Chains A and B, each alone.
Chain A
Amino acid sequence: MAKTALQFRHNGRDVAIFVDGGTNLLVALREGIGDMTPKFGCGQGGCGACSVLIDGELHLSCLTLAETVAGRSVETLDGIKDGPNLHPLQRAFAENFAAQCGYCTPGMLMAAKALLDRNPSPSRAEVVEAISGNICRCTGYEPIINAVLAAASGGRARA
């Protein structure tokens, strides 16, 4: 079956790849572009490890038909750092021990970024809600919640 040409914006850069019909965006990103930051977890929309931003909105790349992002902007964890400098959320995750095995971390960071982009000073309940679609089997979530709150307050501790 013929492949389909697909063009979209990936972390601020225009990319063009070929995909098989029915390919999901996660496969297109990892195998087509080589961006390994979104992770394959469940393939069912249950774990959030593959979370990316599409036109600024949080989406699950494993459940997104690759062809539907033609002409749109896709942002992954690979694009959130500023040159050699970590994004404030990445720094807060490191400082608050919010990653253990790290497999959920890319999805957690993108879910947290989607929250802070529209609500720079969320409450604890809003952080919990924002990461409710992302499963972590290591941390017990508390360090992650604390890291997002720390990033939101510019590194200052928050109740």
Chain B
Amino acid sequence: MPVTVRTFASTGEAAAALSSDRGARYLGGGTLVMRALNEGDISISTIVHASDRALTRIDAAGPRVTISAGVTFARILAERDLSFLHAPARSIGGPAVRNMGTVGGNLFAPNPYGDFTVALLALDAVVSVQGGLGSRAVPIEEFLQSRERQTDTLVLSVSCQKPASAEAFRYRKIARIKPKGGSVITLAAHLPMSSGRIVGARIALGSMAPTQIRARAAERALEGRSLDASTIGAAAAAAVEGTSPGDSALASAWYRREIVGVHLRRLLSGQE
């Protein structure tokens, strides 16, 4: 069924169009919205798109990075200052999908996708959104919890602190097809260290619940401790707590629950 396509020069106009039309969806790279249209999704009656160059900026020079929503994964991979995000960006799709898919769109990607968002959740990212009433900054966890209600807002950017070192941020995606494939589970860990102890541990999981979630029990097992074998064992044992994975063609819920601790142990131990 034909839909109306509305292209705007500014994000403000695009946000106003999104918030005033229940059937409007924002088109970023197309990997979600065009797929839905190809599958005959009749809930979409209007496609909103903004050509605003502000949506393609990367500010990564300082300790806090801001990535505009329209930045593609190929651009993340080309940015040396974003090397800590290269592993999650590389784990998404093939080259064509990485040329198209955007950081903003990934926030809305359902299971078994949305791997980049797992990394952003572990990094305590803040999502800047613009609705009909203006723009605001939303912690990513809060954003994800209300994701279904966010389709009438326009994501402008995401921002997060750079990890202090390469060791402090770790990422692992389990897929049946390499190098490309949907996620069986995806894990990201941010382990800031102070005097040899973990302070502010963040463990994020993908495909372990309807949206990306934090593994709070595993975080508690790590908090204030050094990253030794007993701490890692306690975190791995707690990884499954609070999760609610689903069955899919890639893996059953049972399998996902069985392996999440195994892969968290490997991630924290630095094993391949």
Contacts and interface: CB of A to CB of B under 8 A. Distances in A.
19 contacts: A1-B4, A20-B2, A21-B5, A21-B47, A22-B1, A22-B2, A22-B44, A45-B100, A48-B94, A59-B99, A62-B34, A64-B34, A67-B7, A68-B49, A111-B95, A130-B95, A133-B95, A133-B180, A134-B94
Interface string A61-102: 011110110000000000000000000000000000000000
B82 interface: no
Given A20-B2, A63-B30, A129-B179, A44 B38 contact: yes
A4 interface: yes
A13 B30 CA distance: 25
A114 interface: yes
A35 interface: no
A65 B94 contact: no
B3 interface: yes
B96 A51 contact: yes
B100 A43 contact: no
B96 A48 contact: yes
Contact of B180 (A4, A51, A132): A132
Contacts of B168: none
Contacts of B7: 67
Contacts of A23: 2
Interface of B: 1-5, 7, 27, 29-31, 34-35, 37-39, 44, 47, 49, 74, 93-97, 99-100, 179-180
A105 interface: no
Nearest to B4: A21
Interface residues of A, number: 32
Q: Is the interface of A mostly helix, strand, loop or mixed?
A: mixed
Which residue, of B1, B35, B74, B95, has the highest number of chain A Cβ atoms within 10 A? B95
A22 B37 contact: yes
A153 B27 CA distance: 40
Interface in A16-41: 20-24
Contact of A57 (B2, B31, B99): B99
Nearest to B99: A57
B30 A65 contact: yes
B2 A1 contact: yes
A26 B113 CA distance: 24
B3 A22 contact: yes
Contacts of B180: 132-133
A114 B3 CA distance: 32
A60 B100 CA distance: 8
A132 B179 contact: yes
Nearest to B74: A57
Given A45-B97, A63-B38, A68-B27, 17 more contacts: A21-B5, A22-B3, A23-B2, A24-B38, A43-B38, A58-B99, A60-B97, A63-B29, A63-B31, A67-B5, A68-B30, A111-B96, A114-B95, A128-B179, A130-B95, A132-B180, A133-B93
Nearest to A115: B95
A140 to B, nearest CB: 14
A44 B179 contact: no
Contacts of A65: 5, 27, 30, 34, 47, 49
Contacts of B39: 43-44
